[in-house]
Chain A
Amino acid sequence: MPPLLEVKGLHTEFRTGAGLVRAVDGISYTVEHGETVAVVGESGSGKSVGALSILRLIPDPPGRVTGGEILFDGRDLRSLPEAEMRRIRGRDIGMVFQEPMTSLNPVLTIGRQITETLEAHRDADRATADRRALELLEMVGIADPARRLRQYPHQLSGGMRQRVMIAIALACNPKLIIADEPTTALDVTIQAQILELMKSLTRKLGVAQIIITHNLGVVARYASRVNVMYAGRIVESGRADAIYHRPRHPYTMALLRSVPRLDQPRRARLDPVEGQPPDLTRLDEGCAFRARCRFAVGRCAEARPALEPAGEPGHLAACFRSAEPMTEEAAA
């Protein structure tokens, strides 16, 4: 069975006043049916742009997908006519946004926003759509769903609104859900609830998921595979536990060190990733991470390392030194 989603060499550019920004610079990855894949990276690493490129929602101008293939369920999304693409959005691919406070329309009731999706995609009649909306709200664990259907977004808490967003994303039984930082705007306790909910629902319904996040803790627990992005490229890719326990790229290691760990002895202080992400308008031919890398050598300034097998089978890393043991002593 071919993978559900196959992204090959995707390039997305933005023309800005400061110059051309290659926000996504040739990324390739696959998502199998029912699988959860995480895309991890700092702000500006291109993780959200990559996801929006799949749905062809990059505003043009200034943005533009300039290269690559996006095969979804056997069809190349880049060459589909807009009307076909519209049928895929919301029906085959659902999306959950970062900001539950502003992602729902304030002037429409919760019920209306769920049924509208159903009506737009399935020509469901009013009564069927209403029943389905009730069922969806129950499914995402909202108490007293009949009352909530008649309420407006401002009457719901952030966590509840994100549950509604999930209900809308699931309304048409999609094959894939793209969640763009679904928990960033929520309290920590609510974050776990939402993630657990998404995990159990996608598992139960067999929906594949792409979780975009900057939180590596999310990754370890909820994703089977992880793509780590830096400056528009995937720098490391592999199974979640391998990334977490045996990372092969210095950036991933630095990210992991910056996360507070409860399962290890407490150190005096956290170890943030030093420096700033690079300015994407002036990348040179060298490795984009070398200025912040503790293991950088002369070679790193000459060429950008390609994504190559490292460590266990299926594990890829884009670093010249990924085969060496990268310990404190190896740091230059």
Chain B
Amino acid sequence: MTVITPGPAAAAIAVDPQTWRQRTWAGSVLDFCRRKPLGAFGLAVVLVICLAGGAADWLAPFDPEENDFSAMMQAPNWLHLLGTDQFGRDIFSRLVFGARTAMIVGFGAAIGGGMIGLVLGVTSAYFGGWIDLVFQRVLDVLMAFPLIILALAVVSVFGTGVFNVIIAITIPLIPRCGRVVRSSALAVREIPYIDAARALGFGHARIVLRHMIPNVLAPFLILLSAFVGQAILAEASLSYLGLGVQEPVPAWGLMLQGSAEDYATTAPWIAIFPGLAIVITVLGFSLFGDALRDAIDPKLRNR
């Protein structure tokens, strides 16, 4: 005898009878947390890091750049929560200010590279033909280099410092965004309202900016959240290699470098805490981005 069990379709129908109702903003955040606990963890990390970076002046107990030679290489204690480095600088304060550097570079590069990639990708898809071909081959060339290698090349041209690091990370992000956005824009291009906009006599700039870009924003925003994590990791790598943010500006990658390696056995806290900060932050942005994609994409809902 066969027992008929309700299939996945039946389960989908049997979900929460409330879902048809207009959900409130707070309700949808709660719903997101319940469905995607990992995504909620990511969101929490993102919020904590943003808060730390934003309120660093109030959160940090010490000046992150001030040397205190009476308290060098102290293990974590109640005064210096995460210990001090070889110059007596408070590691907790440096981490908090490092979060600010990471946020500035991460968001700056992700938004910069994302926006340029968005416009290029949509424009490329809209015009098609040889313009599309040329754009895509140029992006192919840029894509051929791993992110960090291309960033290194850009730094060697422009030099180091926070602003140049942002540019160095922005450039390799452009093709990565342009590629994804173009594929969405190609589909939008074929929907009749774009032809209708042409028949109304709108110019190319208006059609690209007002009619196509708003219709590819969903995949773009998901991409952006992933880019912030990538950019933070790239900034840490560049700084670690000495080609990114320069001393004495507090940056996580920089804190891992130099004396942190020399004293790894005697004072491991100098290296461990900035390393943890990088891992948790990048993981947080990545988890949040994945969960955001699942939540926005209706095909993956109710799973």
Q: Do A and B bind each other?
A: yes
Task: Give A residues with C-beta under 8 Å from B.
Answer: 55, 57, 61, 86-91, 95, 97-99, 102-108, 116-117, 120-121, 165, 168
Are A105 and B197 interface neighbours, CB within 8 A?
A: yes
Sort chain B's interface into a size bin: 10 to 19
Q: How far does the alpha carbon of A227 sit from the alpha carbon of B256 in the complex, in Å?
A: 79
Q: How far does the alpha carbon of A43 sit from the alpha carbon of B181 in the complex, in Å?
A: 34
Out of A88, A90, A97, A165, which one reaches B195, CB within 8 Å?
A97
Are B198 and A102 interface neighbours, CB within 8 A?
A: no
Are A105 and B215 interface neighbours, CB within 8 A?
A: yes
Smallest CB separation, B135 vs chain A (Å): 17
Smallest CB separation, B162 vs chain A (Å): 36
Smallest CB separation, B103 vs chain A (Å): 29
Q: How far does the alpha carbon of A90 sit from the alpha carbon of B199 in the complex, in Å?
A: 6
Jot down 19 A-B pairs with beta carbons below 8 A, ordered by A: A55-B199, A57-B195, A61-B129, A86-B203, A91-B201, A95-B196, A95-B199, A97-B192, A97-B199, A99-B192, A103-B192, A103-B195, A105-B193, A105-B211, A105-B215, A107-B214, A108-B210, A116-B202, A120-B202
**A95: chain B residues within 8 A (beta carbon):** 196, 199-200
Q: Is B4 an interface residue (CB 8 A)?
A: no
Q: How far does the alpha carbon of A97 sit from the alpha carbon of B191 in the complex, in Å?
A: 12
Smallest CB separation, B202 vs chain A (Å): 6
**B197: chain A residues within 8 A (beta carbon):** 105
Are A89 and B192 interface neighbours, CB within 8 A?
A: no
Smallest CB separation, A133 vs chain B (Å): 14
| 6 more CB-based (< 8 A) A-B contacts, given A97-B196, A102-B193 | A86-B201, A86-B202, A99-B192, A104-B196, A105-B193, A106-B215
Smallest CB separation, B165 vs chain A (Å): 35
User: Given A116-B210, A120-B206, are A89 and B196 neighbors across the interface (CB < 8 Å)?
Assistant: no
**B191: chain A residues within 8 A (beta carbon):** 102
Out of B129, B201, B214, B215, which one reaches A90, CB within 8 Å?
B201
Are B201 and A88 interface neighbours, CB within 8 A?
A: yes
Are A89 and B200 interface neighbours, CB within 8 A?
A: yes
Are A120 and B201 interface neighbours, CB within 8 A?
A: yes
Smallest CB separation, B216 vs chain A (Å): 10
A interface secondary structure, majority: loop
**A90: chain B residues within 8 A (beta carbon):** 199-202
Smallest CB separation, A243 vs chain B (Å): 28
Q: How far does the alpha carbon of A165 sit from the alpha carbon of B193 in the complex, in Å?
A: 11
Q: How far does the alpha carbon of A98 sit from the alpha carbon of B206 in the complex, in Å?
A: 23
**A168: chain B residues within 8 A (beta carbon):** 200
Most buried by A among B129, B196, B203, B215: B196
Most buried by B among A57, A61, A89: A89
Most buried by A among B129, B198, B215: B198
Smallest CB separation, A55 vs chain B (Å): 6
Closest residue of chain B to A89, judged by CB? Answer: B201
Are B215 and A121 interface neighbours, CB within 8 A?
A: no
Are A57 and B201 interface neighbours, CB within 8 A?
A: no
Most buried by A among B201, B202, B206: B201
Closest residue of chain A to B129, judged by CB? Answer: A61
Q: How far does the alpha carbon of A95 sit from the alpha carbon of B196 in the complex, in Å?
A: 8
Tell me the B91-112 residues at the A interface (CB within 8 Å).
none
Q: How far does the alpha carbon of A168 sit from the alpha carbon of B206 in the complex, in Å?
A: 17
Q: How far does the alpha carbon of A87 sit from the alpha carbon of B203 in the complex, in Å?
A: 10
Q: How far does the alpha carbon of A165 sit from the alpha carbon of B195 in the complex, in Å?
A: 13
**B193: chain A residues within 8 A (beta carbon):** 102-106
Tell me the B178-228 residues at the A interface (CB within 8 Å).
191-193, 195-203, 206, 210-211, 214-215
**A165: chain B residues within 8 A (beta carbon):** 196
Q: How far does the alpha carbon of A90 sit from the alpha carbon of B210 in the complex, in Å?
A: 17
User: Given A99-B192, A116-B210, are A57 and B200 neighbors across the interface (CB < 8 Å)?
Assistant: no
Smallest CB separation, A103 vs chain B (Å): 5
Kindly list the 10 A-B residue pairs having the minimum CB-CB distance in the complex, ordered from nearest. A90-B201, A89-B201, A90-B200, A95-B199, A107-B214, A103-B192, A103-B196, A86-B201, A102-B192, A105-B193
Closest residue of chain A to B191, judged by CB? Answer: A102
Q: How far does the alpha carbon of A97 sit from the alpha carbon of B197 in the complex, in Å?
A: 11
Q: How far does the alpha carbon of A284 sit from the alpha carbon of B200 in the complex, in Å?
A: 38
Smallest CB separation, A33 vs chain B (Å): 21
Smallest CB separation, A168 vs chain B (Å): 7
Closest residue of chain A to B200, judged by CB? Answer: A90
**A87: chain B residues within 8 A (beta carbon):** 201
Smallest CB separation, B159 vs chain A (Å): 42
Q: How far does the alpha carbon of A261 sit from the alpha carbon of B196 in the complex, in Å?
A: 35
Are A89 and B198 interface neighbours, CB within 8 A?
A: yes
**B196: chain A residues within 8 A (beta carbon):** 95, 97, 103-104, 165
**B129: chain A residues within 8 A (beta carbon):** 61
Smallest CB separation, B233 vs chain A (Å): 33
Out of A97, A99, A107, A121, which one reaches B201, CB within 8 Å?
A121
**A61: chain B residues within 8 A (beta carbon):** 129
Smallest CB separation, A200 vs chain B (Å): 23
**B215: chain A residues within 8 A (beta carbon):** 105-107
Q: How far does the alpha carbon of A91 sit from the alpha carbon of B193 in the complex, in Å?
A: 17
**A105: chain B residues within 8 A (beta carbon):** 193, 197, 211, 214-215
Smallest CB separation, B197 vs chain A (Å): 7
Smallest CB separation, B187 vs chain A (Å): 12
Smallest CB separation, B150 vs chain A (Å): 34
Q: How far does the alpha carbon of A104 sit from the alpha carbon of B192 in the complex, in Å?
A: 8
**A120: chain B residues within 8 A (beta carbon):** 200-203, 206
Are A57 and B202 interface neighbours, CB within 8 A?
A: no
Smallest CB separation, B198 vs chain A (Å): 6
Q: How far does the alpha carbon of A87 sit from the alpha carbon of B129 in the complex, in Å?
A: 25
Smallest CB separation, A260 vs chain B (Å): 30
Closest residue of chain B to A171, judged by CB? Answer: B200
